[in-house]
Homo-oligomer: A and B are copies of this chain.
Amino acid sequence: MPALVEIQAAAEQLRGRIHRTPLLTSTALDAQFAGGGGELVLKAELFQKTGSFKVRGLLTKLLRLTDDERRRGVVTVSAGNAAGALAWAARDAGIPATVVMAKTAVPAKIDAARAYGATVELVEGDLLAAYDEIRTERSLTGVHPFDDEDVITGHGSLGLELLEDRPEIDTVLVPIGGGGLISGVAVAVKLLKPTIRVIGIEPEQADVVSRSLAAGEPQRLPTARSIADGLAAPICGTRNFPLIQQYVDDVVRVSEDALLQATRLVMSRTKLALEPAAAAPFAALLESSARVAGVTAAVVSGGNLDVAKLAL
C-alpha cells in the first residue's frame, strides 16, 4: 500500500506535466440532488491530458521504469482511456508503446492511441490473454492499467487535490472499473482525513468489485459490457482489492438506464461533455432517494465520448 509521502511525491513529479483539473460547482445539480446544507463539487478530470484520469497513474509508472524496461518498450491492455494515456505518456518519455484494445472499443479512443504514436493491437475475445501473449512474445514491459502499485500511487494524486482545494469534503463518489482510481483516491483521502467517506459506483452489468467484496477475494466476470465502457473491466485488481476492502465505505451498483440518464442530465446541466463512466456518481444519485448532505465530491473521471454517436 502506498504511503501518503509516496502519493505526495508522485503528485510533485506530475506537477507541470499534467493538468491541475478544476473543482466545479453546479447550482442546477445542487437543486436536484443536495439537501439543506448539502453541496456537490465536481472534480472535472475530463479536462485532464488525454481526457481522463488515467495519465496520473500511467505517467507515474513510466517515470519509475528502469532503463532496461524503457528500452524494451511498454504494453498495456485497455477499454480505451488507459490506451490513450499510456500512448501519450510514452511518447512524452520517448518509450515505444503498444496497446491491446478490443475491436469494439470506442473508435475515438482507438484513434487517440494511434495519434499519440502507439502500436494498436485490436483483438476479439479475451483481451487479457491477448495482452499476456503479446507482452511475452515481444518481450515488452507490461504496464497493467490498474493492478499496479505505481499506478495506484499516481491515481492517488487526484485525492490529494480534492482535499487541497476543498478540505471540507466529507464524501467522495468515485466510478469503479477494475479498481485503479478508487484504490488510489481512497488511500490518499483516508490517510489525510480518516472521517471522509468513499463510495464507489459500478455498473450492474460490470459489478466485479461488488462480487469480489462479497466473495472476500478478487473475482473475474465471464463478460462485462456497459455503455460506461470505461467501467467494464472483467477483473478486480489483486493489489486494488485489499485497499478497496480497507478504505472504501460502500460500493453501489447502477443500471444502464441510470448511466444514460445521468450522462444526459449532467451534460445538459453543466455543459461538460463527460463520458458515461464519469456519470456513474450521478447515476447513483438518480437511483437513490437520499439527498446529498455535507460537501460531496463526484469524480468526473473522463470525457472520451463517442462523438460520432451525437446525432444533431
Taking Cβ atoms with an 8 Å cutoff, the residues of A that contact B are: 46-47, 51, 108, 227, 259-260, 263-265, 267-268, 270-274, 276, 303-312
Contacts and interface: CB of A to CB of B under 8 A. Distances in A.
Nearest to A312: B227
Nearest to A44: B271
Contact of A310 (B108, B303, B304, B310): B310
Contacts of A260: 312
17 contacts: A47-B271, A108-B268, A227-B312, A259-B312, A263-B312, A264-B307, A264-B308, A264-B310, A267-B305, A267-B307, A267-B310, A268-B307, A271-B273, A272-B272, A310-B310, A310-B311, A311-B311
Secondary structure class of chain A's binding surface, majority of residues: helix
A273 B268 CA distance: 8
B276 A274 contact: no
A163 to B, nearest CB: 24
A276 B259 CA distance: 24
A311 B305 CA distance: 10
A267 B305 CA distance: 9
Most central of A259, A268, A303 by chain B CB within 10 Å = A268
A303 B307 CA distance: 15
Contacts of A272: 271-273
